[in-house]
Amino acid sequence: MESDLVVALGGELSEYEINLLVRNFIDTPNKFMTTESSKLSGLIKKPLDAIGEIKLQLIKRHIKFQTLYQRNEDIMSISQYGTGIETLDRMLKNILLPLQDNRVWELCGIIGTGKTELLYTLAVNFVCKSKCTQEVLFIDTKNDFSVRRVHDILRERKLNKDDRDNALRAIKVIEVHTELTILAVLEELYKKLRAERTSPNIRLVLVDSLPACRVGFSSDDERWESCCLLTQLASLVRRLATQYHVAFVIGNLCFSQQDENVNPDTYNYGYCDDSQPQTLQQDRLMLGRYWSTVSTLRLALEHPQNTNCSDDDIRLVKVLKNCYGPSGETCLVRITDAGVV
């Protein structure tokens, strides 16, 4: 019986080359995609350009959208969507930056502050408010998407089974491992919207989270390639936002300047964003200062420091400085069984 790697790459690689990969424990398409191109090039003696083209063709053949409803079983007509979180929407209204089409938001925070929980809530609130007539694309780079958690949020809102199922169908999720894969996903979405020539069903794209795709780059060549892909990604995000009115919320990470275990170059080729005031528990943002020109709004999610709140479920949402709009506004939200409120 042919292996998955033979089926996937039989047209691009010889049997000898595939056997070389298998002997080095690269025996599935997923392992091939997540192995550094330079290592693959050294093993099978093909140039980096050829390796990149093979990966791109592999993505195009195997990429597909999958609904959460399917996983669970094994814009609205107006431009302003809102987050569905009362205190957050009130703050955003005050600074004239509500969640609506054309928006590209960045959601920042250290690990464990609840960024994923907030993205789950945004997905549920969006499809419920549109009565499931519009869809959310959830791009999961950490490969830990919790269908159970989304289902629990829906159940806590006392929705009947049909409404829960419809909401799950309206949330499309795709797991990715590299920036190249994210680029391919969004290019496929762009082609689909351009071909349909109608109002798109997918009006909100959530990415959890972009830096997770960049951890594996170690050599200068690999990091430089990643930096170029980040620029292509920014261009594609802008096109989708401006031409097809798709809104984006893209997760980003912060790290402490005192954290010796984090190498900024691993994430952003040496361009950490140190333009922020030294607050946020002395954290700096991944993806670099360049990415601050991409998002129209930067939000930070953190544990409150100087408030009277002793509840561990309370979070502070802060508007950070970027190239657009005001900064410094804050509000408090709470993480509950029904999501972020």
| pLDDT number for residue 278 | 43
Mean pLDDT, residues 27-49: 85
Contacts 24+ apart (CB under 8 A), 309-316: 315/113, 315/114, 315/340
Whether residue 186 has pLDDT greater than 70: yes
List pLDDT tens digits, range 127-162: 999 888 889 999 999 888 999 999 999 999 888 889
Quote the mean pLDDT of the chain. Answer: 80
3-state secondary structure of 125: helix
**Burial annotation 21-54 (CB, 10 A radius, 16+ → b, else e):** beeeebbebbbbbebbbeebbebbebeeeebeeb
Mean pLDDT, residues 69-73: 58
Could you tell me the two tokens for 129?
A: 């408010």
User: Is pLDDT larger for residue 147 or for residue 312?
Assistant: 147
Q: What DSSP state is assigned to residue 103? A: -
In whole angstroms, give the CA distance from residue 6 to residue 10: 5
| pLDDT number for residue 106 | 92
The helix (run of H) or strand (run of E) holding residue 60 is: helix 48-62
| pLDDT number for residue 102 | 83
Instruction: Determine phi and psi for 318, rounding to 5 degrees.
Output: -125, 140
In whole angstroms, give the CA distance from residue 231 to residue 208: 18
In whole angstroms, give the CA distance from residue 218 to residue 73: 39
Instruction: Give the whole-number percent of the chain exceeding pLDDT 70.
Output: 76
Mean pLDDT, residues 289-304: 85
Report strand pairing: 254-256 vs 314-320.
Answer: unpaired
This prediction's pTM: 0.77
**Res. 15 pLDDT band, cuts 50 70 90:** confident
Whether residue 104 has pLDDT greater than 80: yes
List pLDDT tens digits, range 240-278: 998 888 999 999 988 765 554 454 444 444 344 444 444
Mean pLDDT, residues 67-83: 60
85 within 8 A of 120, measured Cβ to Cβ: no
